[in-house]
Amino acid sequence: MALELTYHGNTNIPVEIEGITPDILQPLSLAEIEQLRVFHGKDKCVLADFFKITGDASDLEMHLSGQLTGVHWIGTKMQCGSITINGNCGRHLGSEMRGGSITVNGDAGDWIGAEMKGGLIHVHGNAGHQVGAAYRGSERGMNRGTIIVDGDAGNEIGLTMRRGLIVIGGNAGDLIGFNMLAGTIMVFGSSGIRHGAGMRRGTIVFMGDDQPQLLPSFRQAVKYQPEFMRVVLRKLVKNGFVVPEETLNASYNLYHGDMIDGGRGEILLRA
């Protein structure tokens, strides 16, 4: 039986539940879980002030439901287990998580998987800005793991990303892969401007028909069918992502850049 957390809060002030993860809750009784500390703005409260808690935490499975758009830091630093969110949720989902999986049957806010180091986040709706990004002042963003967003996302996806895979099924904003160190970002819809600025390594793939204009510091190299693409697409299908038929055997135009920072990154545009 999963642990069920049903939100009943009535406030416009953010509720932060950092540290409420399956691996932390597993050995605790319901009474102990109810008394775990959370923040309501700057005030310290307990989890039971905002959630009705039922079920059993021993199987490392946690379900959250209710109006969670004002609830932030869900799954932060999670090590293992699974979290399922039925509805929309707030910022910092899966921030710094190291393992396990998070599924959102709705939309999520900014900073999904910021500086994450492992695991899987799958958002079946839309996402905000800074998916898989580094926090301001940090040297590295996402450093392992997979983030899948079925819908749209905002700006600065994969900011200073080091490893891992980010997939956006819909449209995306500006500055994808800004200062990217390594890893892979795939966008299936349209996108904004200035992608790959300052990237050192890594791969950004634009799979859609409406492709962005690249910075002049990227140089076209070749048109080809990359072998890794089939591997990645099979992985996405396995994780429940709908892969458009036209991408399965497509060719891609390869561009190297950013030439102002060594030119060892690559951007692929579906031909």
Q: Please state the domain extents for the chain.
A: 1-70, 91-270
pLDDT in tens, 86-108: 999 999 999 999 999 999 999 99
Q: Which pLDDT band holds residue 245 (cuts at 50, 70, 90)?
A: confident
DSSP letter (8 states) at residue 89: B
Instruction: Tell me what the mean pLDDT of segment 64-68 comes to.
Output: 97
What pLDDT score was predicted for residue 94? 98
DSSP letter (8 states) at residue 189: S
Q: What is the DSSP string of 5-21?
A: EEE----SS-EE-TT--
Q: Which residues pair with 257 in a beta bridge?
A: 265
Is pTM, for the whole model, over 0.85? yes
What pLDDT score was predicted for residue 248? 85
Q: Which pLDDT band holds residue 213 (cuts at 50, 70, 90)?
A: very high
Instruction: Tell me what the mean pLDDT of segment 149-174 comes to.
Output: 98
Instruction: Tell me what the mean pLDDT of segment 5-23 comes to.
Output: 96
pLDDT in tens, 78-87: 999 999 999 9
Instruction: Tell me what the mean pLDDT of segment 113-125 comes to.
Output: 98
What pLDDT score was predicted for residue 1? 84
Which sign does the torsion angle of CA 56, 148, 159, 224 carry? positive
> Closest Cα to residue 121, out of 139, 143, 97?
97
Residue 259's φ and ψ, nearest 5 degrees, are: -65, -20
* Cα 228 from Cα 48, distance rounded (Å): 47
pLDDT in tens, 231-240: 999 999 999 9
Instruction: Tell me what the mean pLDDT of segment 15-26 comes to.
Output: 97
